Structure 1
Amino acid sequence: MTMDLTYSGIDISDGLIVSGIFLVLLALFHLYKKKNRIIIGLIASQCKPRRAELKKDTVGRDWLTFIILFVMVVILGLKMVSPMVIVSDSMKPEFQRGDMIIVQSVSLTPKVGDIITFDVKNKNYDVSHRVISINNGAIITKGDNSPRKDNYNTKPENIKAKAIQVNNRPLVIKNFGALFIVDYSKQGIIYKFGDRFTFIQQLSAAIRAWGIVLTIFALFGYIILMQRNKR
């Protein structure tokens, strides 16, 4: 198994996209605050709901938003859908160390071509490799970057999750997983963000530790805000 110990950083194109969206939102907010009669006034003149209707519509949207958030929390909390951080290069070029893939644990029946995350006996880590064949209940896997198949003797009960694929390609978030590898800076990694990168690692570790508490507080806070808006 080869391992590329370099951190390439964040693609500047992503930053440009985010900056562009942020600037558009700022521009719209500026128009709203200034009560631009040409744009905002024209839109407002076409839609003037009565106060009671507006209040009812707002409450309905609030509850719809809450239900969507709650469902997302349940799905993520039960790990029906969850991110998986990649810590090796065994699946290059599909994904590599420091990337993050999205996996699901609802349907675990393996098929040839699936990328499965499975438990390896006598090892303290999981493996995410591609299924190349299934023989009499034994699942044969292989890393795309390896010339040889695995000898893990994987069984269906060892499967923890399957990568979500679109057009036979897994959903991959490039480089983002590096922020969640606590020992990333201790492996000779080359990265260009210095102390800021270490700070992000520490922040992500804190978020993971307090994630449940923060989620509960956020949901309760949202309910309180909805109740206030009813008044």
Structure 2
Amino acid sequence: MSFVEDSIGILLSSFFYLLYINQVLLILFLATLIFFIILRNIHVRNSTFFPNVISTLIKKITYQNQKKSVESRMGHYGELSKRQRVLPVLIPLLITIVIAYIVLNHYVFLAIVTSGSMSPALEVKDLVLIQNLHVNPQQGDIVMFNTKKARMPVIHRVHSVSGDVIKTKGDAVAFPDDWTLKKETIQGEAILFKGEPIIVKNIGEYLLFDSDKVQITKYGSEMHRVSQILKNVKKLGFTIFIICILLYIFLAASSKH
């Protein structure tokens, strides 16, 4: 037999033997055989086919990896760009919604001082900022409440707290009030800044109207008409708020384009 026939016989015998004994070894054997064939074509015949194939595969793999890397970076930059466009619109919108929710539900509001019983801390016609988000009256706090003995809400300082019973007193009065309060009857507490209530001086004079009755004050009927307009705006407050929010979103979206 010739060398070629001997070689083919040996390869076939090895193939069937490995196929019967161990398929993993067969795969390794075939891989090794293919590897040596490739080397023979490269070095013996000086063939460029296999190097070109390997080079092409490497280029394709490298290109795919680079493409995925670029797409990943572009996606990341796109997300950052979207965040940068959305956040300047979203943050003011959320702040506005929170403030509107607090104001419309009267969690924070301005109350008018109608008497001089809290002088000099609060004078008549002052506006004082009140909150009822967290009402926990303690001695010295300024609170707002209703009582049957007063025609309008009263703003006085807490004189003493004994269990559920609260006694109040005006700063300008020598003796405590002749009524007692329960915690649930208190409408709110004055918001303090550096230990002092936040007030707007001499504005309440323009707002002291009984809007259900026509009144002519020293400021004339024009002020009454203004108060009527404000009353109607207050009734439509939620609707106006929604319209303003939608308009803000529309303008913000338009400016981005």
TM-score class normalised by the smaller sequence: 0.5 to 0.7
Decide which structure has greater helix share.
2
Distance 1:66 1:134 in 2: 41
Q: TM-score, normalised on structure 2? A: 0.59
- Contact 2:111/2:128 (8 A) holds in 1: yes
Check if 1:77 corresponds to 2:104. Answer: yes
Partner of 1:175: 202
Across the two proteins, how many residue pairs are aligned to each other? Answer: 177
Structure 2: where are the runs of 5+ without partners? Answer: 1-79
Check if 1:201 corresponds to 2:227. Answer: yes
Structure 1: where are the runs of 5+ without partners? Answer: 1-52
Displacement after TM superposition at 1:58 (Å): 4.8
**Relative contact order: is structure 1 or structure 2 higher (C-alpha 8 Å, sep ≥ 6)?**
1
- Contact 1:84/1:102 (8 A) holds in 2: yes
Distance 1:145 1:204 in 2: 33
> Secondary structure, in 3 states, of the residue corresponding to 2:236?
helix
Check if 1:90 corresponds to 2:90. Answer: no
- Contact 2:215/2:224 (8 A) holds in 1: no
Distance 2:230 2:113 in 1: 16
Question: Share of identical aligned residues, percent?
Answer: 28
Partner of 1:67: 94
Which protein is bigger by CA-based radius of gyration? 2
Q: TM-score, normalised on structure 1? A: 0.65
- Contact 1:139/1:155 (8 A) holds in 2: yes
- Contact 1:179/1:204 (8 A) holds in 2: no
Displacement after TM superposition at 1:112 (Å): 0.8
Partner of 2:245: 219
Pick the aligned partner of 2:236 from 210, 224, 227: 210
Distance 1:209 1:144 in 2: 36
Distance 2:184 2:224 in 1: 37
CA RMSD in angstroms, aligned pairs only: 3.0
Pick the aligned partner of 1:154 from 156, 178, 181: 181
Partner of 1:126: 153
Displacement after TM superposition at 1:222 (Å): 1.3
Partner of 2:143: 116
